Structure 1
Amino acid sequence: MSDQGSDDVDSSTSEQSPSTEKGTALLRSTLLSPGYLRLLLLCALIGIPVALACFLFLTAEHELQHLVWEKLPEELGYDRAPWWWALPTLLLAGLILAPIITRMRGRGGHVPVHGLGGAPIGPLDLPSVVLAALAALPLGVVLGPEAPLMAIGGGLALLAVRGMKQQAGQGPVAAKAPMLLATAGSTAAISSIFGGPIVAAILVVESAGLGGAALVMLLLPCLIASATGALVFTGFGDWTGLSIGALHLPKVPPDMTPDAGDFLWGVPVAALIGVAVAYLRGLGYLVERWLGEQTAFRIVLCALGAGVLLTLYALLTDRSPEEAALSGQSALGALAADPHNWSVVALLLLFLCKGLAWSLCLGSLRGGPIFPAILLGGAIGIACSGLPGLGTTPGLALGMAAASAVVTGLPLSASVLTVLLLGNDAHNQMPLIVIAVVVALVAAQLVPPRDQQAVLPNAP
């Protein structure tokens, strides 16, 4: 009786079902087809020009940001941006973005409250995306550059679609070439800001929700495009590569192995962060729907409202409004390097003021949603590290993981991103990071969904 059962198990595990065999044969024939091999070669080639375009974009954005928030205040006799600085800069950002969003083709890109992307943006829509990002992000809009980068990568990759169709001829590869190329270009672009091809590929693949043969067909172009593009920044041979402001933490608090106190506090803190970030994102959806009428005027009001919140942070904390403005990348590095330079009250005000400004920008302006959320989570995590038994490094780790998980909705991507940010200090924190991601995503489901699509006036 037991022998017969064992034989049944062995036969069931050793034999593939007809559908599995058919899928394996289809995958093999597709990967070895001339059209798909040419597609992989093209993806490898487009990775380098996409990376160079992203380098130029990020360099211009960083220089404009330095001009607005450091050089101009110094020219006016201030040692840092004064408390009122965000009011005129955000008002100007709103005035610039309003006509771009309501009148230009492409509307400056997708609304950031819906995540990193959607359908690929065509080359004709790309000018409005680049103009919106370079004109508004350096002025203090509380969003990151990741969404514009993905649009740039996808748009440039789509320029190669016509040539790919001519080479691939007819068939499934030719039909899917635009989607595969656009996705590969977006992955190559976003890898430049996330510090490498792995986290970018995981982010794109996990968001696509694919499996089996479809996953492999999508993953290979993304990996090869982002890998060749990464050579622009990592270097090749004696060439050291181009320096770029990728998201990273040059210094983190002294590493410590999480103990029982870190896990006991980490679960409720991760749940708190998950619910708070989910509510802030829900407010962004409300803002998006509010823009259905008098869109241009209300875009300006939202930008000015974000400036008021940044000003309020500067007045209440006697700190620079730059800490609460922009994507939060530099502020996150400063927070990780010297967390005790912020009082608990300052960290809570940073979360409140920057978080509300982020909500306004999510629903009305243009940019990426991830970078500010990571800073918000890190700020709350470090603020809670004053609780007895919760360490600074575990607080920072679980805060970044929980916030990035909620804003992306992608648990694996959030975990990998947090691990890469912490660098050598991530090994001991990995169990806490994964638990924080799971708890935050579950807790965020307690917040009523508000993701109904808003309708904006048609752009020409």
Structure 2
Amino acid sequence: MTAPAEARPSPTLRELLLNRGYLRLLLFSLLLGVPIALACFFFVSLQHSLQHWVWESLPEAAGFDRAPWWWPLPALLLAGLIMAPIVTRMPGSGGHVPVFGLGGPPVGPDALPGVVLAALATLPLGVVLGPEAPLMAVGSGLALLALRTLRAEPEPRAGAVLATAGSTAAISTILGGPVAAAVMVIEAAGLGSAQLVALVLPCLAASAAGALVFTGFGEWTGLSIGALQLPEVPPNVNPDAGDFLWGLPVAVLIAVVVSACRTLGHRTVAWTKQQTAVRTVLCAVAVGGCLTAYALLTDRSPEEAALSGQTMLGKLAADPHAWSVAALVALVACKGLAWGICLGSLRGGPIFPAVLIGAAAAIACSGLPGFGATPALAVGMTAATATVTGLPLTSAVLSVLLTGPDAYNQMPLIVISSVIATLTTQFVQRKAPQAAHA
């Protein structure tokens, strides 16, 4: 037997970062962030405008003060009819199945038309999913398309880095800036130190360029992108012992609720594997039924339970007492069921609706003695995000960015809520492995 060849030592961080090929990759990532951000800006702006037209302008033109209770039924039926041929016939099936998270291999250029069509034609109709997953798919697809157009064929690892940088540039602003997106890359990658830095730097460069483009174009055009943000939060309150006493069990409760919705999503995936087209339409109609049920139970607009929830989250944070506890419970139940069905049958991002579900559940509990609305909001957003992403650090950073000036006071509660929700999620998944991976 011959002796095995001596393993080549891994390059040091200095050697890796000063390599000419890597520096070209870093520069290309920075330049790539600008056109990708431009394309994604108009993509998200168009999606937001269509959403406004379907749920506000069109009902007003029909003579209604707001979308009537039955509005989601034809809207979601149309979404299902559009989605069925995309899922069954177009390359890429319209993107990743959202119940499996934001991960998966980068979306190639051939799958881009299906992703764009699925997002622009169905999300505005009331599908209870966010724009973050399609946005990341567009970013990675455009990055790979740029390589193909330039007839550049980098090694597979470099191509993967560029695709990741494109995704990060696309999602950075809608998550509140490049910091949250970079932390997500760091936590999701799970790489060693040198490889981690090598991946993060192109992503930071691309996302920073993208954030500048998003900010400049937003001010210049006046177009809205519906980013996940809280224009207002409840009055600044330092969390006390009562907030921690109630906040930790509420974090557990939210983790259980969100995990149950994800289990429904896994079961929906299994159910739609056969007769996919027909069952996709049936799932969309069921989502419409959930939204209609919310409107009938609360005598409020079905729009509050539809869509991704960015706008509703801002309204909830600005005036958490405008909803009764019964209305908030109905929102969690109806939107949670609709979201669970969408996770396994339609296309979009899983994070944004989960944040609203967690916030609504926590605000419903804020009437407990000694549990304030501001700490409840922080607990709800953090616990839901940690449960749906499995990334506790990313969840804490995102909640800190959302709470704004009050983040310093809420940070200990945010961090412990992220830890508790992550542990609870793992416990629930261990207790029901078959349901989680069906």
Same fold (TM over 0.5): yes
**Superposition pairs for residues 254-403 of structure 1, below 5 Å?**
254-403=235-384
CA-CA distance at 1:451 after TM superposition: 6.9
- Kindly tell me: are residues 165 and 72 of structure 1, through their superposed partners in 2, closer, same or farther at Cα, counting changes over 3 Å? closer
Paired residues of 1:376 and 1:403 also in contact (CA < 8 A): yes
Q: Distance in 2 between matches of 1:300 and 1:406?
A: 28
> Which residue does the alignment assign to 1:27?
13
SS at match of 1:82: coil
Question: How far does the alpha carbon of each residue in 1:55-83 deviate from its partner, in whole angstroms, 9 at most, with x for none?
Answer: 11111101110110001100110000000
- Kindly tell me: are residues 452 and 352 of structure 1, through their superposed partners in 2, closer, same or farther at Cα, counting changes over 3 Å? closer
Which residue identity lines up with residue 229 of structure 1 in the other structure? G
SS at match of 2:130: coil
> Which residue does the alignment assign to 1:180?
161
Aligned match for 1:104, one of 90, 94, 98: 90
Question: How far does the alpha carbon of each residue in 1:207-256 deviate from its partner, in whole angstroms, 9 at most, with x for none?
Answer: 111121110110011000001111112339x9799753221000011110
Q: Distance in 1 between matches of 2:137 and 2:126?
A: 21
CA-CA distance at 1:205 after TM superposition: 2.0
Q: Distance in 2 between matches of 1:368 and 1:204?
A: 16
Q: Distance in 2 between matches of 1:208 and 1:166?
A: 25
- Kindly tell me: are residues 58 and 167 of structure 1, through their superposed partners in 2, closer, same or farther at Cα, counting changes over 3 Å? closer
- Kindly tell me: are residues 291 and 244 of structure 1, through their superposed partners in 2, closer, same or farther at Cα, counting changes over 3 Å? closer
Paired residues of 2:76 and 2:285 also in contact (CA < 8 A): yes
Paired residues of 2:147 and 2:153 also in contact (CA < 8 A): no
Unaligned runs of 5+ in 2: 1-7
- Kindly tell me: are residues 93 and 336 of structure 1, through their superposed partners in 2, closer, same or farther at Cα, counting changes over 3 Å? same
> Which residue does the alignment assign to 1:115?
101
Do structure 1's residue 128 and structure 2's residue 114 form an aligned pair? Answer: yes
**Superposition pairs for residues 25-64 of structure 1, below 5 Å?**
25-64=11-50
Aligned match for 1:247, one of 228, 236, 239: 228
> Which residue does the alignment assign to 1:91?
77
Paired residues of 1:327 and 1:371 also in contact (CA < 8 A): yes
CA-CA distance at 1:453 after TM superposition: 6.2
SS at match of 1:159: helix
Question: How far does the alpha carbon of each residue in 1:282-327 deviate from its partner, in whole angstroms, 9 at most, with x for none?
Answer: 1100010011111111101110001001000000000000000000
Question: How far does the alpha carbon of each residue in 1:86-117 deviate from its partner, in whole angstroms, 9 at most, with x for none?
Answer: 00101110010001001111100010000013
SS at match of 1:254: coil
> Which residue does the alignment assign to 1:18?
none
Question: How far does the alpha carbon of each residue in 1:104-133 deviate from its partner, in whole angstroms, 9 at most, with x for none?
Answer: 111000100000131001001110000000
Q: Distance in 2 between matches of 1:298 and 1:324?
A: 22
- Kindly tell me: are residues 116 and 42 of structure 1, through their superposed partners in 2, closer, same or farther at Cα, counting changes over 3 Å? same
What is the aligned-residue identity percentage? Answer: 67
SS at match of 1:252: coil
Q: Distance in 2 between matches of 1:243 and 1:89?
A: 23
SS at match of 1:106: helix
Unaligned runs of 5+ in 1: 1-20, 169-173, 455-460
Q: Distance in 1 between matches of 2:436 and 2:37?
A: 34
> Which residue does the alignment assign to 2:132?
146
**What is the TM-score normalised by the length of structure 2?**
0.94
> Which residue does the alignment assign to 2:181?
200
Paired residues of 2:263 and 2:436 also in contact (CA < 8 A): no
Aligned match for 2:64, one of 64, 75, 78: 78
CA-CA distance at 1:177 after TM superposition: 1.4
Paired residues of 1:286 and 1:450 also in contact (CA < 8 A): no
Aligned residues: 427
Q: Distance in 1 between matches of 2:87 and 2:149?
A: 31
Paired residues of 2:172 and 2:180 also in contact (CA < 8 A): yes
Paired residues of 1:370 and 1:408 also in contact (CA < 8 A): yes
Q: Distance in 2 between matches of 1:288 and 1:42?
A: 38
Question: How far does the alpha carbon of each residue in 1:124-145 deviate from its partner, in whole angstroms, 9 at most, with x for none?
Answer: 1110000000000000000000
**Superposition pairs for residues 364-443 of structure 1, below 5 Å?**
364-443=345-424
- Kindly tell me: are residues 246 and 235 of structure 1, through their superposed partners in 2, closer, same or farther at Cα, counting changes over 3 Å? same
> Which residue does the alignment assign to 2:4?
none
- Kindly tell me: are residues 56 and 234 of structure 1, through their superposed partners in 2, closer, same or farther at Cα, counting changes over 3 Å? closer
Q: Distance in 1 between matches of 2:200 and 2:435?
A: 28
Q: Distance in 2 between matches of 1:190 and 1:451?
A: 30
- Kindly tell me: are residues 434 and 114 of structure 1, through their superposed partners in 2, closer, same or farther at Cα, counting changes over 3 Å? same
Aligned match for 2:205, one of 205, 216, 224: 224
Whichever of the two has the greater Rg, that structure is 1
Question: How far does the alpha carbon of each residue in 1:2-53 deviate from its partner, in whole angstroms, 9 at most, with x for none?
Answer: xxxxxxxxxxxxxxxxxxx955x53222211111111011000010111111
Q: Distance in 2 between matches of 1:326 and 1:358?
A: 9
- Kindly tell me: are residues 167 and 313 of structure 1, through their superposed partners in 2, closer, same or farther at Cα, counting changes over 3 Å? closer
Question: How far does the alpha carbon of each residue in 1:354-383 deviate from its partner, in whole angstroms, 9 at most, with x for none?
Answer: 000000000000000000000000001100
CA-CA distance at 1:147 after TM superposition: 0.2
SS at match of 2:159: helix
Q: Distance in 1 between matches of 2:378 and 2:12?
A: 42
Q: Distance in 2 between matches of 1:355 and 1:167?
A: 44
Q: Distance in 1 between matches of 2:221 and 2:50?
A: 25
Paired residues of 1:164 and 1:177 also in contact (CA < 8 A): no
Paired residues of 1:39 and 1:164 also in contact (CA < 8 A): no
Q: Distance in 2 between matches of 1:42 and 1:360?
A: 40
Q: Distance in 2 between matches of 1:366 and 1:167?
A: 30
Which residue identity lines up with residue 433 of structure 2 in the other structure? P
Paired residues of 1:232 and 1:242 also in contact (CA < 8 A): no
